[in-house]
Amino acid sequence: MMLGTQGYAIREARFLTVRREFLLAPKGRNSSSAALPAIKSVPLVRLHRRRRRSGQEIGERSPARVVVVSCAAPATAAPAASGKGAGKSTVTATISVQTEVESLLANIGIGRGLDDISDLLGKSIQVELVSSELNPENGKEKESIKAWAHKGKKGDGVQKYEAKLEVEGGFGEVGAVLITNVHHSEMYFKEIELRGLAEGDVHISCNSWVHAQKDSPQKRVFFTDKMSKQSFLPSTTPEGLKKLRAQELETLRGNGEGERKTHERIYDYDVYNDLGNPDSSDSLKRPVLGGKDHPYPRRCRTGRRKSKKDPQSETRVGALQTPYVPRDEAFSGVKGVTFSAKTLKSVLHTFVPNLLSVLKDDTIGFPFFTAIDTLFQEGLRMKKPGSSTSLLNAVVPRLVKLMEGQELLQFEMPEMIERDKFSWFRDEEFARQILAGLNPLSVQLLTEFPIVSKLDPKVYGPPESAITKELVEQQMRGVMTVEEKAIEQKKLFIVDYHDILLPYVNKVRELSGTTLYGSRALFFHNKLGTLEPVAIELTRPPSSTKPQWKQVFSPGVDATNVWLWRLAKAHFLAHDSGYHQLVSHWLRTHCCTEPYIIAANRQLSAMHPIYRLLHPHFRYTMEINALARQDLINADGVIEKCFSPMKYSIEISSAAYDKLWRFDYQALPADLIQRGMAVEDPTVEHGVRLVIDDYPFANDGLLIWSATKEWVADYVNHFYEDSQSVVSDAELQAWWSEVRNKGHADKKDEPWWPALDSRESLVQVLTTIIWVVSGHHAAVNFGQYPYAGYFPNRPTIARTNIPTEDDSAMHFDLFLKKPESALLGCFPSQTQATLVMAILDVLSTHSIDEEYLGQQAEPVWQSDPAIMAVFEKFNGKLKQIERIIDERNTNRELRNRSGAGILPYELLKPFSQPGVTGKGIPTSISI
């Protein structure tokens, strides 16, 4: 920004005004002059300003005489030592401000120059100490103690500010600090330390943006970190803090009106009405998710104006912007440049457009399997250095490499394919991944035969499956009958997407470049403890022109049926990939968690022990969700471009929420029981007995679940003495009520919502939420590139119908002549495959500053030895789980996680090094 002669005149006038204010300021005992800096006249070297002249950057320095205020207090005004003199003590408040952050307005314009002046004058940050006691004379809050903070030392990306405050002996314990930021831009506060208090030193972990006073006159509140059984529940909050506690929550709730501004910290609810873009094109209009027609969890309200063409829809932000999230939910500028979510944003906004410009025809598939291999061996030539893509070489060196003066998109071969190049082709691996792959949450025990759809037969045709008793027994090689043995002995398992997909089949088939079926796959649990595929059924519902069609495919013994089976697997895997991404991943973790976060910030004070327990598990989730709404699940976004249901993808996740989602089933043991994969048994470890002993996701997941539940129980029992203390906690009950009635409003009347009426019910609810954002999310996210980076193993879309469905003899003859081409034609196009591979690489990457479950105690816990003791126990258990998982992966009896060429199951190992590792459980959903 240019700063001309007029700007410098304003700046000079500002100095003279400040000098006059200082010289005329009263010198009484109660004035701020006790810490008045010394004034002297010195040469001024003007702050470096840049102006453009004829396209050149010019730095200007000129001497001048101006009043400058020394930050050192005069010797005659030296403060009294702590605790001495007239019952007063001098308290030093040291504020640590992180400087190496991407503030929205920092370092630009005249504001920066005025901020520098304010810092020199010691008038940029005002600190106020708030007593935890009321004034005994009038029963009101005591007057706060105020002082200006002076700029101090700087180092390691942190600028220190220091204030001296005179505290009367009867002030009481400091319960909070109020901050006024007079700078012209926001500041990121790391921590505040208070030294010299009668009750001892106080540490406050801030890790928060403090808005500029010009944006809002409201002061920022930071409660002390000091943890106590008696000081943080609403009923035992110190009297001097109760009003401030309530006011802060009112601020965070807002009034539900107007468009949210970037600096705000307001949490409120809205429906998903911002995925479409009808003002741009009628084809980009999408239904509102949330409400009677399309039940859905709620997202964070932004208040943007409504669409001109569709008043039910909200307008979208610009391509390079991110929708509003409360300021402290944003990771931008705080996490390191290698933070995976930032990398994802760079890939979506810079890399993807360049990729699409290189692969201009998005319908061309891979002509040979060897052409797929070139993505890993030779790479894809991109634009030359100097284009915007070249910036990504430093951020995503795994993806973009520089070679012979050109950029090269070259993928790293996933470890699964490195171990066994043809593993994706084998039926044993196909079945193994049902239990130990990327989506182990869909398999369930088959309890009834024959299989019957629950859909309306008048609309979707006969409900009976075409999978017959004879076919199943033939595939089981006659070792047992279906009803008498296989069902009774719990030997048959199913992954069933028939009813969730069939209502969308005809609509999807109206789109170009894709197709869809209702599908289900059946598996037999053999004596070795592994699954064998029995059959895949594909169904097309009746339409106005065609009757219902369904066909069952089984592993064949002749060439034609072998290739038909491979094509059926490709279709089923495309459906499984879509369900994994839309339901197991997005809906059950990202989407359903956002209401917990919004409600927690609206109803639980920052000093509440349950807020302090949950807060680390909620970091960065809201912004990654906002990024997903902007570029991944939106109209014509990555999901719609590359997954079979295309424009109906996110609508299908709404149908799954409506029919399948229950909060109580998100707890791992309950999930396993309701799918028939486990039975309750209080005599065994974890309280459940698995139906399949070697079920890696469940085996390892139960270890994480139990360790987490024990930690949560210890924490809850420390703060709540009995069930009544849980019931009477007004903030806690308001939080849980709001989760149900506002955050998940479309399911508020369901009878399965647990009541928070005991310590045990609270522990169960909290453990469920923490499991979802940690273990569950890790299991479905960080294996994406290891399992789907070689896309034939998990194609995201099937583009052609099964040859036997069509009446065209020519279509079937082409399949007979060249079945490999038929399979390649069914797979994603080159553009779709390459785009998904790039996104999955980033989604599967741990950043160097990843925060793992149970690895690092929160600063706020460190003031309570009892909490630290149980946290250390939790940390020790997680380290022990690491060793148990390593031992399991070397046990050759466990064939679903060990064997020749098999990728060990490590997705639920708690810790990891940076990169694509296929292991590690982050504390929160941050990617």
Active site residues: 585, 590, 777, 781, 927
Give CA–CA dist 406/404, Å, rounded.
6
pLDDT digits (tens, 9 = 90+) for 759-809: 999 999 999 999 999 999 999 999 999 999 999 999 999 999 999 998 677
Q: Is the predicted pLDDT of residue 865 greater than 90, yes or no?
A: yes
- In this structure, what are the phi and psi dihedrals at residue 150, rounded to the nearest 5 degrees? -100, 145
Q: Is the predicted pLDDT of residue 11 greater than 90, yes or no?
A: no
pLDDT digits (tens, 9 = 90+) for 139-157: 999 999 999 999 999 988 8
The answer to whether 635 and 277 have CB atoms below 8 angstroms apart is: yes
Q: What is the pLDDT of residue 385?
A: 52
Provide the pLDDT confidence category of residue 394 given band limits of 50, 70 and 90: low
Q: What is the pLDDT of residue 318?
A: 83
- In this structure, what are the phi and psi dihedrals at residue 96, rounded to the nearest 5 degrees? -105, 115
Q: What is the pLDDT of residue 27?
A: 39
**In the block, residue with structure tokens 């014509």:** 636
The answer to whether 918 and 907 have CB atoms below 8 angstroms apart is: yes
**In the block, residue with structure tokens 């933070």:** 339
Handedness of CA 506, 507, 511, 513 (dihedral sign): negative
Average pLDDT of span 220-246: 86
Q: Is the predicted pLDDT of residue 811 greater than 70, yes or no?
A: yes
Strand 56-59 with 63-69, pairing: unpaired
Q: What is the pLDDT of residue 810?
A: 79
Which positions ≥6 away from 718 have C-beta within 8 Å? 229, 609, 864, 866, 867, 870
If one compares 893 and 863, the residue with the highest pLDDT of the two is 893
Token digits of residue 842 = 């980033």
Q: What is the pLDDT of residue 230?
A: 55
Task: Give Cα separations from 284 to 128, 289, 316, 636, 640 (angstroms).
Answer: 51, 15, 12, 7, 11
Token digits of residue 70 = 């020394």
Percent of residues, the chain, with pLDDT higher than 70:
85
Give CA–CA dist 605/706, Å, rounded.
28
Give CA–CA dist 712/710, Å, rounded.
5
Q: Is the predicted pLDDT of residue 404 greater than 70, yes or no?
A: no
Q: What is the pLDDT of residue 212?
A: 95
Q: What is the pLDDT of residue 914?
A: 93
3-state DSSP of 700-728: HHHHHHHHHHHHHHHHHHHHCCCHHHHHC
Helix (H) or strand (E) holding 119: helix 109-121
Provide the pLDDT confidence category of residue 382 given band limits of 50, 70 and 90: confident
Nearest to 16 by CA among 76, 65, 50, 82: 65
Task: Give Cα separations from 832 to 361, 514, 638 (angstroms).
Answer: 11, 12, 9
State the Cα angle at 732 between 727 and 738, rounded to 5°: 115
Nearest to 710 by CA among 907, 877, 512, 887: 877
Helix (H) or strand (E) holding 299: strand 299-300
Q: What is the pLDDT of residue 75?
A: 35
DSSP 763: H
Q: What is the pLDDT of residue 575?
A: 98
Give CA–CA dist 554/180, Å, rounded.
70
3-state DSSP of 304-355: CCECCCCCCCECCCCCCCCCCCCHHHCCCCCCCCCCHHHHHHHHHHHHHHHH
Nearest to 376 by CA among 792, 903, 779, 907: 792
Q: Is the predicted pLDDT of residue 696 greater than 90, yes or no?
A: yes
Task: Give Cα separations from 830 to 357, 799, 801, 823, 833 (angstroms).
Answer: 13, 12, 19, 14, 5
Number of H helices, E strands in the chain: 30, 26
Strand, coil or helix: 539: strand
Q: What is the pLDDT of residue 815?
A: 94
Residue 215: what residue type?
A: D
Give CA–CA dist 388/645, Å, rounded.
32
Q: What is the pLDDT of residue 863?
A: 82
What mean pLDDT is reported for the chain?
87
DSSP 863: G
Average pLDDT of span 360-364: 87
**In the block, residue with structure tokens 């059950």:** 588
Q: Is the predicted pLDDT of residue 260 greater than 50, yes or no?
A: yes
Which positions ≥6 away from 154 have C-beta within 8 Å? 99, 160
Q: What is the pLDDT of residue 22?
A: 38
Q: What is the pLDDT of residue 15?
A: 39
Q: What is the pLDDT of residue 16?
A: 36
Give CA–CA dist 588/642, Å, rounded.
21
Nearest to 572 by CA among 649, 497, 514: 497
Average pLDDT of span 857-880: 94
Beta partners for residue 347, in sequence order: none
Token digits of residue 491 = 């030997």
Which positions ≥6 away from 356 have C-beta within 8 Å? 362, 831, 835
Beta partners for residue 69, in sequence order: 39
Q: In what order do the strands lie in the sheet with 406-409?
A: 380-381, 406-409, 400-403
Provide the pLDDT confidence category of residue 214 given band limits of 50, 70 and 90: very high
Token digits of residue 197 = 């208090």
pLDDT digits (tens, 9 = 90+) for 79-124: 333 333 447 899 999 999 998 665 544 444 445 555 665 666 568 8
pLDDT digits (tens, 9 = 90+) for 43-67: 333 333 333 333 333 333 333 333 3
Q: What is the pLDDT of residue 360?
A: 77
pLDDT digits (tens, 9 = 90+) for 577-595: 999 999 999 999 999 999 9
The answer to whether 525 and 895 have CB atoms below 8 angstroms apart is: no
If one compares 383 and 789, the residue with the highest pLDDT of the two is 789
**Cis-peptide into 450, omega within 30 deg:** yes
Q: Is the predicted pLDDT of residue 405 greater than 80, yes or no?
A: no
Strand, coil or helix: 845: strand
Handedness of CA 252, 257, 263, 269 (dihedral sign): positive
Handedness of CA 482, 488, 492, 494 (dihedral sign): positive
Q: Is the predicted pLDDT of residue 42 greater than 90, yes or no?
A: no
Task: Give Cα separations from 297 to 271, 587, 657, 829 (angstroms).
Answer: 8, 9, 8, 33
Give CA–CA dist 629/586, Å, rounded.
11
Provide the pLDDT confidence category of residue 517 given band limits of 50, 70 and 90: very high
Across 349-363, 388-402, 760-774, least confident range = 388-402
Provide the pLDDT confidence category of residue 321 given band limits of 50, 70 and 90: confident
Strand 845-846 with 220-223, pairing: unpaired
DSSP 261: P
DSSP 91: E
Provide the pLDDT confidence category of residue 390 given band limits of 50, 70 and 90: low
